[in-house]
Structure 1
């Protein structure tokens, strides 16, 4: 068995070597993957080495930070001690007491000693802090001691009974205090017995008064509890298993804390030159990181040292783990590189083989990627050419859409929205304004030079618009001398829209005049709340432009607002409006007909100054439009309507009432058309559903299959079916088929593939996807649940 695995492995290696040698694509993929694999491995080694230095640096920095904190704490206390000691040395009462003789029993001088005692107690209370500082004042002349709120007469008794250095007799202590002048002198940590209790203290000594250098009267001694400093040193190095020291400028150990006795070393001779720093030293064959901070106050040196392996222990462990992980990752990465190179090379080789079969003249030695690059380049070039054609087509469609929008060829708002979505037009504004610009005042013959000038003017108008307005803008060329401009605003206040529109076109007129010395005529239509109403604003402006009888020079600023222009004595009933009324009536759009008729009534009965005869003519024209509608309707509809009473003559006085009657007839016939349309749609839907149910399990069932049976286009059939049923055709078919499939699966007689074919699916994969979409689970899960039940 082992021999079989061995032979198989050798075969695979030979195959891979052959593949590497023959396939350029496989070779490039494999080398690329291995390179990608090696880069992060090398970077990880660099990062690891950097992390070692960072860990060491962080340890040093954190230790220096703690040493600085300790230094600052002790310096602040020493400064406080110096301040108090100097004040005491200059205290006149203390100097007076130090000059007195030793008081005898009943002597009045005792009063002065006790009077100063009160001041001494206050000083002692101010010195109490976390270093547990004690204060002693020794007066040589009268053999008196003040110590921690206690007054003693007799130094010898005090020293032997209350306060004594273990390695110093009273005589030695007395000699040390008074044999020379002391100023900020200190004794390193020493063992003392205070009231029978052993403790270690650091002694700080001052002689006073300061002017008696040879024979001082007294000594001020401050005792710092060394255990308190040891606790602070312990907090620095305890976790690092190291040692900490405080050294004097001469190298004497003032205080120390040791957790690693093997590291104890004579450090008196060390040269600490900088204010702070670190170094790596060799102690007993092991490397030690030594950090130090020097006090600027008294030149004390605060030292912390710890074994480097303590800090780097986790890093060294991580290094071992990292090496193992990197080796495993390298091995697995190499295996996966071979697998991925083989998988990625396979489809490229297949593509190349197809291309080579299609092009037998292909050079065998040609580089595969260069060949593919050339073919893709040709494909992209074809794609670019196709995109350009589509862009041109998109521009033409856009032109057609806006032309039909302005001239009112759309009788349905939803149709406008669908076309905009289809053409990818984004004109989502709350208000719209329409303007028509007549560029040249006098324009008769279109010569080549004039046409070139007009093109230049139109381009300038577009540039000015884009420079001065950030909202949606569309420019439509009506003729070579006239352009229509649609502007969208994201505000709902009609007055503000009107003001901004006027300001915008005044800017256009001013800049065109300054640049080309011509003053175009601009007609502004009314403000619209939807794109559907834009047609009316455009027709208003167009009608007004065509009926202007005044000369250009009589028009102020050559800008006319349609709703502000003087009342006209001309009937407002454009041909476009008439065609719109006919199409909407036949389509059964009652609401939209009402809005147009309301607009006509407002124009001809309210805004324009029409005489009675002109109003009669307008009403008869409207009635003629109604007759045109009837001529396109079924004769049975026309026979139900009475028209004689609608013909308008001079005898009729209430012309507005006649308008209302004609409008009612439009509404009446529109409702009839709408009902007929719905009835026709219901019958058509019934036939379609019958056909679908009869052919539901036919594998040919599709939109084109059904639409062709009823002589409908695929797009109209999809729209009609969704409008009438509220569901997409595909969703409806899926729902019915899957319901039948569930029924068959419950019987348990057929497997999933058989059921898929029985309900009209050509393959089981499509059936499973549809089943999960409708039911929410796969058919196999559905069957499993049926078995559980």
Structure 2
């Protein structure tokens, strides 16, 4: 199965190869690190051994130098040369004095030679058969050799011949066994002949004996822990001293190239590798050698290598398994994506890889999404334009509707106060030529940039016409006077910068300060009415920024068409509070602020009454029949026009209240029918918003809004609550399992039922059943 998947799925193959490659990289690196560590351990062992060999070499060289110095000094000593020429003294002979006199000097020299190498000194005089050895004077070499100092493998004659048959200068004998005063020991012999000018028949010999066991101890300190061997050899290959932890030592000495001052090599001895290190003395060309089995040094490293190999193999095996698992897991969603994408193009092109196919299809999807986003942005812009236009012209009769639309359009205008301004850009504007339109577009863009550069709160610019724009500004402060001051400062800045940049002075009219977006319509209408009324006096204006509430009282009736339409819609909608606010505003405008004559006020009241008749014409005839309208018509004879206005207002409010009651009554009846239908079809699996809305000829959106407004709950939450309550009853009976109960209460999917149960009750149905059993 795995092999088949490897052959068929290119994605699986790529994932698997990638994971295995990632797995092999640290394994290879660990092997490199291990080999490097082996080399470092070996090098450190060699360096430490070389260091110890150098220490030993320096110690022995210093002692040899001292011996050379003493021997040469003795050879040139005139007293020694004098007594070496004398005959053998007899008892009581005057010459005996000279021998004992030199004896005192000899004892001093012997005491100076004592050190860690346990050096002994011997002077042999051929002519008078005399021996000085350590602190003793002997007359008769044969007796001395046989009784006090004797080489095991050398007779007196051989020893005597070696001493006097040739001239010696810094000659040495390798380690040899001697018996000194009955005690056996091994010594290294260092020999000088004197005087130096008698090369053929020297008068005497100076011999220095170094205790070889002392050197062995020094060699042992170097190689004992390494289970190896150490030795000192001459340049000719003669072994001077040795120490070995094994019986076999000294392999292929003659084959070694000792030209370098120090070094190391790896040799093969008896089938095992041995590290040989050496140091060469520049004083006497002695070579100090230490060799030890490589496995001793690398024992722990080899053990670590075994463990490492086992761990690496195990890691490789486990990693391979995980690579297969991860490759399969990562390939699966990609295969699913491929399956989905192949619906658009079932067959891949020849030589087209899966990833290339996914990349191409996703690129197409992204391109489609970008195009869709652009369309949505354009639509968002259009919706925004429509929203603010309807807001400014007062087409929304409900504050909640404004909030819902803002939420839908993703606006977040949380300001505490709002200011509205209308800007007329050009004074004289008649024919809209192409060049003028381009200029006006440039001016509008420039005004918006200036506003956003100088104000950091919410700002919205709405185009009323080519020559006029309205601006909505939001403030986070609640002081109306401060808001008014900041608004004037802001638009003075706008006017100043536009004038400086384009040499035109736009006319700016500021509406009243509003505390909510719903009231923005009134501020806009104030500003719009004012800018239209003063257009004829444009040239006479001293200040091109005008506040609507500070403008001189007008003798014109304030009753725009937009206000009339607003009054009609609010009355028919039964919105008593909002209707009362607009009528109060009309009273303030026409009876308090504007300087209307009595005749103009009568005309205004009759226009308002005409609006009331329009309302009645749209109402049910039963409502119109209950109201008397004729007596409300205003004539000059009526003195108190404010009372008449109040009577008309009361009629409006009366009709609005009746409409509100009728609306509530209708809503209650409709809700009752809807709830009856829901309860009778509660366990129907088709139950949904569209299912219920279609039964009552309502749109899905209106039904959802109506249901939540009337019940205070979302439709889905209401259905869930009733169904889960029934499910709890059925589970308490204990006759049905969870899946059966889910189907009985209208759920086609047990998972959906469990999720709804957890949402309503707080626990899963299985936990609910468990608790029932415990009880």
TM-score range, shorter chain: 0.5 to 0.7
Instruction: Give 1:172 deviation, angstroms.
Output: 55
My pick for the range that moved more, 464-473 or 708-717, is: 464-473
1:284-315 deviations in whole A, cap 9, x for unaligned? 99999999999999999999999999999999
Residues 526-545 of structure 1 mapped to structure 2, 5 A cutoff: 526-545=512-531
1:596-644 deviations in whole A, cap 9, x for unaligned? 1221111111111111221222122222212221221122222222334
The change in CA–CA distance for 1:31 and 1:558 in structure 2 (over 3 A counts) is same
The change in CA–CA distance for 1:311 and 1:600 in structure 2 (over 3 A counts) is farther
The change in CA–CA distance for 1:740 and 1:164 in structure 2 (over 3 A counts) is farther
| Selected match of 1:72 from 34, 45, 58 | 58
The change in CA–CA distance for 1:354 and 1:253 in structure 2 (over 3 A counts) is same
My pick for the range that moved more, 229-238 or 623-632, is: 229-238
Partner of 1:8: none
Tell me the number of residue pairs that the alignment of Structure 1 and Structure 2 aligns.
775
1:180 touches 1:214 (CA, 8 Å); kept in 2? Answer: yes
2:419 touches 2:513 (CA, 8 Å); kept in 1? Answer: yes
The change in CA–CA distance for 1:554 and 1:22 in structure 2 (over 3 A counts) is same
Partner of 2:475: 489
The change in CA–CA distance for 1:213 and 1:661 in structure 2 (over 3 A counts) is farther
1:362-410 deviations in whole A, cap 9, x for unaligned? 3342222112111111111111111111111111111111111010000
Instruction: Give 1:322 deviation, angstroms.
Output: 10
Q: What secondary structure is seen at the aligned counterpart in 1 of 2:167? A: coil
Structure 2: gaps (5+ residues): none
Cα RMSD (Å): 13.1
Q: How far apart are the structure 1 equivalents of 2:104 and 2:23? A: 81
2:113 touches 2:120 (CA, 8 Å); kept in 1? Answer: yes
TM-score (norm 2): 0.64
1:28-82 deviations in whole A, cap 9, x for unaligned? 2123334555678899999999999999999999999999999999999999999
My pick for the range that moved more, 251-260 or 203-212, is: 203-212
Instruction: Give 1:688 deviation, angstroms.
Output: 0.6
Q: What secondary structure is seen at the aligned counterpart in 2 of 1:137? A: strand
1:263 touches 1:283 (CA, 8 Å); kept in 2? Answer: no
My pick for the range that moved more, 427-436 or 769-778, is: 769-778
Instruction: Give 1:527 deviation, angstroms.
Output: 0.9
1:648-700 deviations in whole A, cap 9, x for unaligned? 22222222222222222222221111111111111110111111111111111
Partner of 2:751: 765
1:90-147 deviations in whole A, cap 9, x for unaligned? 9999999999999999999999999999999999999999999999999999999999
Q: How far apart are the structure 2 equivalents of 1:154 and 1:658? A: 170
1:590 touches 1:667 (CA, 8 Å); kept in 2? Answer: yes
2:177 touches 2:187 (CA, 8 Å); kept in 1? Answer: yes
1:136 touches 1:148 (CA, 8 Å); kept in 2? Answer: yes
Instruction: Give 1:338 deviation, angstroms.
Output: 1.0
My pick for the range that moved more, 119-128 or 383-392, is: 119-128
My pick for the range that moved more, 211-220 or 666-675, is: 211-220
1:251 touches 1:269 (CA, 8 Å); kept in 2? Answer: no
The change in CA–CA distance for 1:117 and 1:788 in structure 2 (over 3 A counts) is farther
The change in CA–CA distance for 1:645 and 1:27 in structure 2 (over 3 A counts) is same
Q: How far apart are the structure 2 equivalents of 1:684 and 1:755? A: 31
The change in CA–CA distance for 1:24 and 1:283 in structure 2 (over 3 A counts) is closer
1:252 touches 1:268 (CA, 8 Å); kept in 2? Answer: no
The change in CA–CA distance for 1:272 and 1:446 in structure 2 (over 3 A counts) is farther
1:98 touches 1:139 (CA, 8 Å); kept in 2? Answer: yes
Q: What secondary structure is seen at the aligned counterpart in 2 of 1:61? A: helix
* Structure ID, larger Rg: 2
My pick for the range that moved more, 24-33 or 377-386, is: 24-33
1:520-546 deviations in whole A, cap 9, x for unaligned? 111111111111111000000001111
Q: How far apart are the structure 1 equivalents of 2:365 and 2:172? A: 92
| 1:514 matches 2:500 | yes
1:133 touches 1:224 (CA, 8 Å); kept in 2? Answer: yes
The change in CA–CA distance for 1:324 and 1:158 in structure 2 (over 3 A counts) is same
Q: What secondary structure is seen at the aligned counterpart in 2 of 1:756? A: helix
2:341 touches 2:361 (CA, 8 Å); kept in 1? Answer: no
My pick for the range that moved more, 239-248 or 27-36, is: 239-248
| 1:478 matches 2:478 | no
The change in CA–CA distance for 1:209 and 1:344 in structure 2 (over 3 A counts) is same
1:229-261 deviations in whole A, cap 9, x for unaligned? 999999999999999999999999999999999
My pick for the range that moved more, 314-323 or 462-471, is: 314-323
Q: How far apart are the structure 1 equivalents of 2:44 and 2:607? A: 97
My pick for the range that moved more, 210-219 or 257-266, is: 210-219
Q: How far apart are the structure 2 equivalents of 1:395 and 1:651? A: 55
